[in-house]
A and B are shown apart, each in its own frame.
Chain A
Amino acid sequence: MQRPALTAAAVLGALLLSCAEPPPPAQPVPFSHRIHAGTNGIGCRMCHAYVEHSTVAGIPSMARCFGCHKFVARDKPDVQRVVQTFQEGKVLAWNRVYRVPDHVFFTHERHIAAGLRCQTCHGEVQQMDVVRQASPLTMGWCVDCHRQRHAPTDCLICHK
C-alpha cells in the first residue's frame, strides 16, 4: 500500500513545483530599481528611452550607465564592474524578465500614449531591489484590461 501513496506524493510535489512562481532571474550585476527609481527618483524614460517612440522600451545602453557612474557611486564594487565592462568595450547580458510570445506584437508606445503608468503592468518597480514579473502577461489578463478600458480587442491588434 505504500507505493501508491509515494507515487501520489511525488505527483503532487512535482505539480506544485511546476506551478510555483519561478524566482526572478539573477542579473549579471545586482541592479536595484529601488535605489535608482525609488530613492533617487530617476524617471523610467531616462533609461528606457524608446518607450514613447517604439514598440520596445529599450534596455539602457552601457554609455547611459556610464553617463552617471562616471561620477556617481564610484566606490561601489558593482558599479566599478559596470564601469569596467563599459571601458573594456563590452556589454552586460541582462536576463529578460518580461516576455510575450513571438506571435504577440505588443507596443509600448501605444500604451504610454493611452496614459498608462509603467507600474500598471510592471508593478511598483521603484520599490523592487530585484525586478520580478509583476503581472501574468497572459492573454486573458491583457484582454480583461482592454475590455475595462474599452480598448480594441480585435485579434489583429496584437496578432499579425
Chain B
Amino acid sequence: MSDEPRDALSRRTFLKVAGAAGLLASCSPPAGPQKLLPYLVPPEEIIPGVPLLYRTVCRECPAGCGVTARTREGRVVKLEGNPDDPIGRGALCARGQAALQGLYAPDRFKGPMRRGADGALASVSWDDATAALAAALGPAIAKPSAAGVRMLTRPEPGATGALQREFMAKLGATPRQRVVLDPFDLAPLRAAGAIVFDRPELPVFDLSRARTVVSFGADFVETWLSPVELARDFAGGRGRIGEERTRLVWIGPRLCLTGVSADEWLSVRSGGELWVALALLRWLCDPANYVPGLAAEAGSLSRLLTGLDLGAAAIESGVAPTAIAKLAGELARRRPSAVLGPGVLSTGRHATELAVAIQLINWVLGNVGSTVLYGLDPVADPPSPVPAVDALLDDMSAGRVEVLLVHHADPAGALPLALKAAEAIGRVPLVVSFSDRPDATTQLARLILPDTHPLESFDAISARRGVVALSQPVMTPVADNRSACQVLIDVAAKLPAPAGPLPYDDAYAHFQQRSATLFPGVSGDQLAEAQRVAQQRGGVFGEVKVERVSLRTPDPTLLVPPVARQRDAAALDLVVFPTALRNDPSGEGVPWLREVPDVLSSVSWSPWAELAPATAARLGISDGDLVALTTQAGAVELSVCTYPGLHEGAVAVPMGGREPLVLLAAAADSRSGALAWQSGRATLTRTGRRAELPRFQGTPNQQGRTIVRTVSAAAPAVPKPAEPGKMVPLPTFPEHRWAMAIDMDRCTGCQACVVACYAENNVPVMGPEAMIRGRNMGWLRIEPFMEEKNGTTRVDLLPMMCQQCGNAPCEPVCPVYATYTNEEGLNAQVYNRCVGTRYCSNNCPYKVRVFNWAEPSFPEPLNMQLNPDVTVRSKGVMEKCTFCVQRIRAAENTARDERRPVRDGEVVPACAQTCPARAIVFGDADDPRSAVSALQRDGRGYNVLGELNTLPAITYLARVRDEDR
C-alpha cells in the first residue's frame, strides 16, 4: 500500500466526504411551501374537486358523435359520449377519445405566426396578422369576382361553413372558389345514390334491423361512415346463438377489423369486388333461382346481367361461384339484410360501378327503406366534387391563385404525392393556414392563424337531418388561438371597399344568430332559454322521416365489369388501408394515436408493410426484413409484418404516414372522380437489411392453450373446467365483488377502450424505443390470436387487462405486501409501498402488470390532461388495471351520501363507458340480480386460464362461430 499515490481518494476520505455531503443534503432547507391561489370571484358552477361536465361534439370524423367533456378546475381531462345524442349514444371511438390530446398536443401553434424572409416562422400579434391578411386580400378583391382568392376547407357542416361562404361572398368570390376537401369522402356512394335513386347523398345504414350484413371493404367498425353508430347497431344483433344472430360477411383483399368480426371472409383480389357484386346481383335476379319477394325490377336487371361471364368473375375475383351462390342464398333467405360499401379498401377505378351494384342488391332485396335509408343526409357542406379539387390544383400550378386560405385541410400531406399538391401550393404567393397544428401545408404557409380546437369553440353541426349537434368551449383556449370565424370577421372589418364588414359583432353573435334558427317562432327570453337548454343537452335532436326512393334503371354500361387487365405477374396489388388510429397525417403529434399498437399487427409508432405468410415465404422474406416497394409513382422502404388476413397477391400498407401517399398514383374512380386508393401495383425487392418494428405481441399463436374460446350452434356452451382441488379456503367478499363480463361476440377490437384507459388512468406514453423493448405501459390491450385452418384465416381478439383474481398469483410473491386482494375483490396495487421487484409481473399468468422503467413524461401542456383522481406513478413502480377504482369510490361515496347501496350499473369504468359495441359490463357479482352476475352464469362464459385456479373477476363470453352454416 505504500506506493499508493498520495492524492488518491482513500476509502476513509471517501466515506468522510460522502458523510459530510449527506449531512449537508439533510441540512439543506426544504422546498418552499406550496402556494394556494384562491379564486378572485368563484365561478358559480365550479366546485374544486368535483367534475363539471359540458356537452359538445366530436369533429374527428364527419359522423358527428356527441361528447360529454369532463372538466376539473377549468381544464378538460376526459371525453365521453353524450348519451342523449342519437348518433353516438354515449360512446366514442378510439379516435374520439384521442381528440383530447389534439387539444393538448405539445406541437400546437401558440399564436399567430408569419413566415419571414428567411423562411422561419415568427410570432406576430393578432392585430398585425389580420391586418396583413386584409392588406393582402385588398388587391385580390379589386379584380372581378376576386379571381385570385381561393378557400380550401375541410367539410364544415355548421356555423363555420356558413360564415366562410359569407366571407367569400363579401370578397366577391363565386361559391366555386371555396373548395371542400375530404380525401376519404365516399364520393362513389354519393354518385351511386344519384344514379340509382336520383339522390346525390350518402345513405344512413340501420344495422340494428339487418339479419345479415355484407360488407364490400367498408370497415364500419373503424372508419366507415359513422363507426360508433354502426358498430353499436351491429353488435346489438350479436351475443346470441342461432338464427337470430346477425351474421357478417366480409369481402375484400384484407381482413380489417370489421373483417375480423365477420363470420365469413371472401378473400378477393384487390379490385375484384365489382365482379363479386355483379355475380351476386345476377344470382339474386336470375329467375332460375326462384328468390321470392324480390323487387319488381329484378327481371329487367337480370336481363341486363345475363352477359356476365361467371367464369371470368371467378377468375378475376378469386371467389368461387359456389361461394357466391351460398352468399346469395343466405341473402335471399335472411331478410332484411344490409350490403355495405364501398369503403377506402374497395375504392378503385370502378368504385362507382361497385356502389351501384351494391345499392341494386339492396334494392332488389328490399333493404332500401328498411336498413338502407335515404333522406337523412343533411347535405350540409358536402365535399366538393373531385374535378373542383383538380381545378384548384391546376389553377394554383398555373399561377392563377394569389391568396389561398386553408382551413383544416392538408392537401400537401394527405393527398397522394403524385397529385403534386405541394408543388401547386408552392406557386401561390400567399398561403394562409387556419390549422392549429403543424402539417405539410402549414410548412408552405406564409401566415398561420391558428384556429381554436373544437373543444374551445362554438359551432352547430348538422350531422344528420333533424340532428344539430351544438359544440361549445369546454375550457379557455390553451394557447393564444382564435376561432377561424372570429378571424374572418376581424379580417372582413379591415377589408377595403368594395368588400365590407360581416354583419356580426363577433363569432359568438354569429353562432347565436344561427342557432336561433333551430327554434322557429321562439324569441326573446324563451329563445335564450331554449338555446341554453339545447346547449346543455348537446344539441337539438329530432326525428326525421325517411324518404321513399324509387329505382331508376341504371345505364347498362354501369353493370359491365371492367375489362380484365393484364397483370404483371411479378408485382403485387397495393392495398392501402386506414384504421381508426392511423388514417391521416394529423395523428402525428398525438401520442396516443401512435403509441397504442395497431390491433392486428401489434405495431406502434412505425409504418409497416403486410404480406401474406405464403407470399413472404415465396419471396424469401421474414418478419422484420426491410423491403423496397416500388410503384410507378414512387418507392419506399418498409419493414415487413406477415399477416394471414391478407390476400396472397397483395401487399398492404397502413395509411397515416407518408409511405402510402408516395406509392399511390394519381388515379381516380372513372365515374365519381374519387381518389382510387386501390389501383396500384407494387413490386417488392429485398434490401437485405432488417429493421425491427416496435411490435407489442410476440406471437399471434395461442401455443396450444385455449385462451380464446368459441362456441357454435352445435356446441353452445363452453365446457366448464373441473373443480380444482382446494388447498386453501376460497376467498369471500362480504360487501361487493366487483366483476366484469366481456362479450367477445360483440367486441370488435376497435380499441376505444384502450385509449379511454390511457386518458382516464394517466397511463404514460413511452415512445418507439421503449416499444421495441416491449415496454408498453397500457393497462388494457387487445390481443390478436390467429390461426389458419382449412385455407381460412381465423382471427380472434381478446381484450386483456388485470383479471382482479380472487386467488391472485401476484400477491404471495410480493415481499412488501404492495399488492393484495381487498374486501371488495379488487386486486389492489399500492404504488407507495411498491419497491419494484417485479416478482408480481413474473408470476402473473396474464402478463398484465407493467413496470415503470423510466420516469413518465407528460410534456407540457399534455400534463393538463392528467386525471387528478389518479396517482401519476413514478419510476420503479409496478402498475396495472384498477377497475377504475376512483370511479368505484366516487359511486360508493355518492351512495353513502344518499344512504343507499350502490346501484347496479352505477359504476362504469372508462373502458365500459366508451365501448361502442357495449361489450363490457361491470358490476357487483355478489348481487345475483346484477347484469354482470347474469352474464357470469351464461353458458358462453369462461375465465381465461381459469384452470390455474386464479378465480378471475373477469368473465369472457365466448365468441360465436358459425361459419359452417
Interface residues of A (CB under 8 A from B): 10-11, 14-15, 17-18, 22, 25, 49-50, 53-56, 58-64, 86, 89-97, 99, 101-103, 105, 107, 109-110, 113, 154-157, 159-160
Contacts and interface: CB of A to CB of B under 8 A. Distances in A.
B40 A61 contact: yes
19 contacts: A10-B23, A14-B26, A50-B50, A54-B50, A55-B49, A62-B41, A64-B42, A91-B38, A93-B35, A93-B37, A94-B35, A94-B38, A95-B32, A96-B33, A96-B34, A99-B34, A105-B889, A110-B893, A159-B831
Interface string B1-30: 000000000000000000000010011001
Contacts of A89: 40
Given A156-B830, A160-B882, 14 more contacts: A15-B26, A18-B27, A54-B49, A55-B49, A62-B40, A92-B38, A95-B32, A103-B871, A109-B893, A113-B896, A155-B830, A159-B832, A160-B871, A160-B886
Contact of A103 (B37, B39, B47, B832): B832
A114 B390 CA distance: 70
B823 interface: yes
Contacts of A10: 23
Given A92-B38, A94-B35, A107 B893 contact: yes
B885 interface: yes
B45 interface: no
5 A-B pairs with least C-beta separation: A54-B49, A55-B49, A61-B39, A96-B34, A95-B33
Contact of B885 (A17, A92, A102, A156): A156
B107 interface: no
Nearest to A54: B49
Given A113-B897, A156-B826, A25 B33 contact: yes
B870 A160 contact: yes
A94 B823 CA distance: 40
A155 B828 contact: yes
B963 interface: no
A41 to B, nearest CB: 22
B894 to A, nearest CB: 10
Contact of A14 (B27, B871, B886): B27
A14 B26 CA distance: 8
Given A50-B48, A62-B39, A95 B34 contact: yes
B727 interface: no
B120 interface: no
A61 B38 contact: yes
Contacts of A18: 26-27
B885 A91 contact: no
B881 to A, nearest CB: 13
Contacts of A94: 35-38
B869 interface: yes
Given A50-B49, A107-B893, A96 B35 contact: yes
B48 A56 contact: yes
Interface in B728-750: none
B878 to A, nearest CB: 13
B822 interface: yes
A60 B47 contact: no
B885 A160 contact: yes
A80 to B, nearest CB: 18
B871 A96 contact: no
B49 A56 contact: yes
Contact of B40 (A11, A25, A63, A101): A63
A11 B27 CA distance: 10
A33 B773 CA distance: 56
Contact of A101 (B832, B885, B896): B832
A154 to B, nearest CB: 5
Given A93-B35, A101-B832, A109-B893, A22 B30 contact: yes
A49 B896 CA distance: 21
Contacts of B528: none
Interface string B884-902: 0110010001001100000
Contacts of A102: 871-872
Nearest to A50: B47
A38 to B, nearest CB: 22
Contacts of B42: 49, 61, 63-64
Given A54-B50, A103-B832, A91 B823 contact: no
A97 B34 CA distance: 8
Contact of B47 (A53, A59, A95): A53
Interface string B819-836: 010111010101111000
A103 B869 CA distance: 9
A136 B831 CA distance: 21
Nearest to A56: B49
B50 A156 contact: no
A3 B404 CA distance: 80
A54 B47 contact: yes
Nearest to B39: A61
B25 to A, nearest CB: 10
Contacts of B30: 22
Contact of A96 (B36, B823, B832): B36
A96 B48 CA distance: 16
Interface in B467-504: none
Contacts of B41: 61-63
B49 A17 contact: no
Interface string B614-640: 000000000000000000000000000
B570 to A, nearest CB: 59
A97 B35 CA distance: 9
